[in-house]
Structure 1
């Protein structure tokens, strides 16, 4: 008898999970302390308190006081063991949770459905991508990070159990309740993703829950509304549906949720829910699979279970089947009574009750409820919406977005100069973020119409059409299908144009398309979140390469695990500072300096951009076009960049010519311009001239010679109406004599040289170069810069004389001219000499926005390479970025300005000597640093309304900002 007692005790001890060699996932590291705490609680409990521990009731923090009173009654009267929170808000929930925990004798075990984050239930919280999206990612470490981040959010809000991950294998595309909640249809992929998610979340101290056992993935009905049938044999279920559970149990899965399913091959009783089946819960989950963690029923209020029997009988049946926790009972009081009645009648043993209650207490100890402390409300919202969450989300989408069709390697889009692109939005949700991001790469027009005929008519001007299919991202259950009309429209557009179809929905939507034959490229972006839209646009233009693989098959079109890989072709991307080693809080200090400059009227407005490691991390606008105006500065406004023209337009054309061998740095002016053979400048070389070391005068006020005695434009040189003889438009309705353009090169050629050879900045080299370049190509400088660089770069906001093609509302005015043109200079070049060259100067005349300037500077930073196109060789760039007269105290390279020497110069003094850039008279500044892979662009119109004062320069605004950028770099 003594031996039998000893054997029984050992068995009970093992079942309860306190032996060191068990696989009980609820054991803590300090098993002895855990056992002591569990026993101390259990041994003081009444029967009612023990049975109450089996219940987890639903609470919504946005419900009425009556609902709150009911929960308090369940805690006080029925001693419930836990709460599953549903709808509400984080602050309200935390406050309510503290209140409920305070009145519970034993701390409550808190659970939530937070499969993709707390936002599944709560407002003002973070939403990570759905499982279907994560299923497309090949790097499971990223999925583990999702689990970790969600776990950290749960823990911060006092949630101990997250009913995630969903491990259903979604082999039925029409599944109404799982779908996006599944990692996909491949059992290995689902298992690997679920394992990674679980490890991340449990590593953060929040217990995981695999659901919906034995498998809800191949159902066509919703168990919230009815009892779905899983009509497969046991061999299939064991091979597919149970596959993830086997692996996760080995890896210390904390809990399992049992679904309400009719599974005839596992439970012979007709229409008997799996959640109430002892054969399934105990026989398969506990005995065959050896699971010793907590077992939850799915919600007992769901129709799949609630339709089965009388209130309370379901609770009893669920417990007798082997479940530990009755989730969301229809009536806790009745259920507790039924279980206690069965206990008293001997249908439930003390050992059976002890097994479940002690498992629940073990879980409470493991999550720290033995040392419970209330949730802090301080910074709660910030802690649940962190910068690192956005960083992770970006990386997830970069790895998930999948290209499933890519005829002729259309993606990423290249040779932009050959493409005219339209964007057509389909679906019922916003595509604004997608469209705005597309426009950062090239000129893209949004086209819409009420009928297909009108739409096709409007699309005739375009050879490439990007169709974005946008459906609601609010929840994974929202409609995702194409309408019949949308399917027809896609087919008709694809017959006539090169089409890129981007579907911001789950992949199954594509199966309903009538045909994909004429669609050149198809992108699956999975979700319509802002980040998904932005990243998809960046992928289309090659800012990063595609890596995603389909987690499910799409009808007869594409198999599971299919997807094209595409390269990163080194176009600028857009991201969060921390992803490239920059502290965003430190970087944000720039805001104050820019705001100060505007407030103190150093400039009416500013465009500011910072890029690092090929990613734009800061791109903001400040102020307005004018001090008194209403037009606020926006991303697509353009500025007169003044002398930045030198390195953005003229210099790259010179670099091309040098690389082609048409000139060298030692070529003399007399060798390329016959007019200079008898000039005092005949022996000036390109090297000396572009280094500003050639004794050339700084500038010449050419306009001054064309004014009359009253210092107004002389009638000899100007007319208010255009004609062949007066065809140079220097300002609105002011035309200079056509032949006077020829006088400017002559004046420069015949000008005196400075007496002493020293570094002296001069505009003259770029007047000279303009003449040489235009004569060589027999084309104008603006045409050359546009065709050789701006069009292929996608720098479509970069242009000379923007008043011809761009609305004045998008052009920032430059000055109220009271000395030459006597009008507002708006859309016309500010520089007088450039204006007298019909607005096209080698030294000035270019208009652009910060984003376009950054593209050109990034091309330089990448030594002549951008967007899979090499504009010139690395050695060519290095040649021009060299200071040849450094020993002569000349800081300049060939065309590029360089950091200061002897404390004087154009930078903050904190940049490497390898860095380069230029500044402009209107307040502009562009600088690139190869060592830190940094691009900084500052555009302003400090010359408005008057150019006489230069507070911007005097107060070092541009270089103070540059210093703050460097202070923000952390690695």
Structure 2
């Protein structure tokens, strides 16, 4: 292979499942003409965060899994060297593909105390099996970011928590589970995206901490993973001037951070993958096509993810990099492909999922993370009030009928939602938080939040919160509620387990 072909193995541009035929053909030409090494699959251009404001066309987004399987078969069939297929699926294929198994968010798994590492490794394993069945070799997950800034617009629910060692243990557990399933995984977003206030899809976040502070918090999970033999790390688009000689430069294009710190000082010998190179934290810095790709390669990245300028990037790297550098990176990627079975590609068939087994795992997990955050619940008293028509249930932001309301009504042999709030002695409030992201109070309307707060102050209320626990801060003083149950997510299994407290 010549140097251009070797460099091309570093590139993993975005492939959108729901796209136009014209764009499918453009991917085919990248495979045929540039001989790229891999593809990173996304649902659609509209859902790829860095592109969301640009798209106007409406596409048919049904049959996502079927379309992805067909596209992988189509693209693999024309590639001289089998493609490394990756996806960003932090909570499973479902992060990108509807009607596939969804697993709990990292913040939810972080709430598990008993046997957490063992259970979370099992989540990684199941997630990995799903991906392997769908032709995916590499999952660009998990997040090893420590969520120390509660207002972080981009990490939040994606982090296992605020304690660096806990994040280190759990991200390693889910990584090892995926590895056990035979797919690749990577810790991200080095050197740590947790304490930032800017979304790197839209601008450059800067962490103003000393190196000592970063080592105790942000860097700890990565160093722990390196010491445990993790073989892939994704570098994020965030600046940490203490690590880059005072410069406010994105880590993803900083030689000081990738080569000097990560590889030399921290001893990482594996593969470094860049975060998406179309993200505005770096994409707008280099107007000349291909320059960003060279900067990322020169900084020490081995795989360049989501490059918008593949041809020019290959040319720039060929122009500036030494043969030794190119060969070293190429050998790493070739070995990765061998290890993940990329060269054994056989035409894929549509996978089927064991939904019963998935539900069993979800119930097992929900029994561990659904919990009473504060207060207490007297179920005998609630039964008496229900018999006297003095127990009401009011749901906010959820469907008219939910698994929670159905089980609750069966339990108390009456439709609690029909009992007047004014006449009730106690009210069960079920809150289905509309968004897991912090924008606009997690999608919760101010008037509705005010209504819930007023209700809690006027009547004895129990709150069942199905959503990101970080959203609880918008509900006023939690001691205004007689009890607060955190269900974390609106999974049916979480709703069923929450009913057990009543």
Kept in 2: contact 1:425–1:431 (CA 8 A): no
SS at match of 2:442: coil
Q: 1:414 to 1:145 in 2, by over 3 A?
A: farther
Question: 1:403-442 counterparts in 2 under 5 A?
Answer: 403-406=372-375, 409-410=376-377, 416-419=383-386, 420-427=390-397, 432-442=402-412
- Displacement of 1:69: 1.1
- Displacement of 1:204: 0.3
Q: 1:441 to 1:202 in 2, by over 3 A?
A: same
SS at match of 1:261: coil
In the alignment, the residues of structure 1 paired with residue 438 and residue 179 of structure 2 have an alpha-carbon distance, to the nearest angstrom, of 24
Question: 1:167-246 counterparts in 2 under 5 A?
Answer: 167-246=144-223
1:694-714 deviation line (CA, Å, top 9, x unaligned): xxxxxxxxxxxxxxxxxxxxx
Q: Which has the higher contact order (CA 8 A, sep 6+)?
A: 2
- Structure 1 residues without counterparts, runs of 5 or longer: 1-44, 343-347, 449-454, 542-971
Residue matched to 2:369? 400
How many positions carry a matched residue from both structures? Answer: 477
SS at match of 2:430: strand
1:280-336 deviation line (CA, Å, top 9, x unaligned): 001111111111111111011000110211321111011111110111112100101
- Displacement of 1:258: 0.5
User: Of 8, 12, 15, which residue of structure 2 is paired with 1:59?
Assistant: 15
SS at match of 1:503: strand
Question: 1:132-151 counterparts in 2 under 5 A?
Answer: 132-138=107-113, 139-140=115-116, 141-151=118-128
Kept in 1: contact 2:467–2:490 (CA 8 A): yes
User: Of 54, 65, 69, which residue of structure 2 is paired with 1:90?
Assistant: 65
Establish whether residue 105 from structure 1 lines up as the match of residue 61 from structure 2.
no
Q: 1:478 to 1:192 in 2, by over 3 A?
A: farther
- Displacement of 1:386: 2.6
Establish whether residue 332 from structure 1 lines up as the match of residue 315 from structure 2.
no
In the alignment, the residues of structure 1 paired with residue 449 and residue 159 of structure 2 have an alpha-carbon distance, to the nearest angstrom, of 26
Instruction: State the structure with more CA Rg.
Output: 1
Q: 1:413 to 1:354 in 2, by over 3 A?
A: farther
Residue matched to 1:129? 104
- Displacement of 1:411: 5.1
SS at match of 1:60: strand
Q: 1:166 to 1:289 in 2, by over 3 A?
A: same
Q: 1:263 to 1:462 in 2, by over 3 A?
A: same
In the alignment, the residues of structure 1 paired with residue 382 and residue 476 of structure 2 have an alpha-carbon distance, to the nearest angstrom, of 31
In the alignment, the residues of structure 1 paired with residue 279 and residue 413 of structure 2 have an alpha-carbon distance, to the nearest angstrom, of 52
Q: 1:47 to 1:358 in 2, by over 3 A?
A: same
User: Of 289, 313, 316, which residue of structure 1 is paired with 2:266?
Assistant: 289
TM-score by length of 1: 0.48
Residue matched to 2:300? 322
Residue matched to 2:36? 80
In the alignment, the residues of structure 2 paired with residue 444 and residue 168 of structure 1 have an alpha-carbon distance, to the nearest angstrom, of 46
TM-score by length of 2: 0.90
In the alignment, the residues of structure 2 paired with residue 411 and residue 337 of structure 1 have an alpha-carbon distance, to the nearest angstrom, of 70
1:324-365 deviation line (CA, Å, top 9, x unaligned): 0111112100101101111xxxxx222211111111111100
Structure with the largest fraction of helix: 2
Residue matched to 1:389? 358
- Displacement of 1:473: 6.2
Establish whether residue 46 from structure 1 lines up as the match of residue 2 from structure 2.
yes
Q: 1:430 to 1:203 in 2, by over 3 A?
A: farther
1:214-246 deviation line (CA, Å, top 9, x unaligned): 011111110001111111111111110011111
In the alignment, the residues of structure 1 paired with residue 316 and residue 170 of structure 2 have an alpha-carbon distance, to the nearest angstrom, of 40
Residue matched to 1:511? 473
Residue matched to 1:846? none
In the alignment, the residues of structure 2 paired with residue 425 and residue 305 of structure 1 have an alpha-carbon distance, to the nearest angstrom, of 43
- Displacement of 1:476: 8.9
- Displacement of 1:459: 2.0
In the alignment, the residues of structure 1 paired with residue 304 and residue 214 of structure 2 have an alpha-carbon distance, to the nearest angstrom, of 25
1:794-818 deviation line (CA, Å, top 9, x unaligned): xxxxxxxxxxxxxxxxxxxxxxxxx
CA RMSD after TM alignment: 2.1
Kept in 2: contact 1:275–1:281 (CA 8 A): yes
Kept in 2: contact 1:254–1:294 (CA 8 A): yes
- Structure 2 residues without counterparts, runs of 5 or longer: 45-63
User: Of 463, 466, 484, which residue of structure 1 is paired with 2:425?
Assistant: 463
Q: 1:537 to 1:276 in 2, by over 3 A?
A: same
In the alignment, the residues of structure 2 paired with residue 490 and residue 463 of structure 1 have an alpha-carbon distance, to the nearest angstrom, of 16
Q: 1:411 to 1:159 in 2, by over 3 A?
A: farther
1:509-533 deviation line (CA, Å, top 9, x unaligned): 2223332333110111111233322
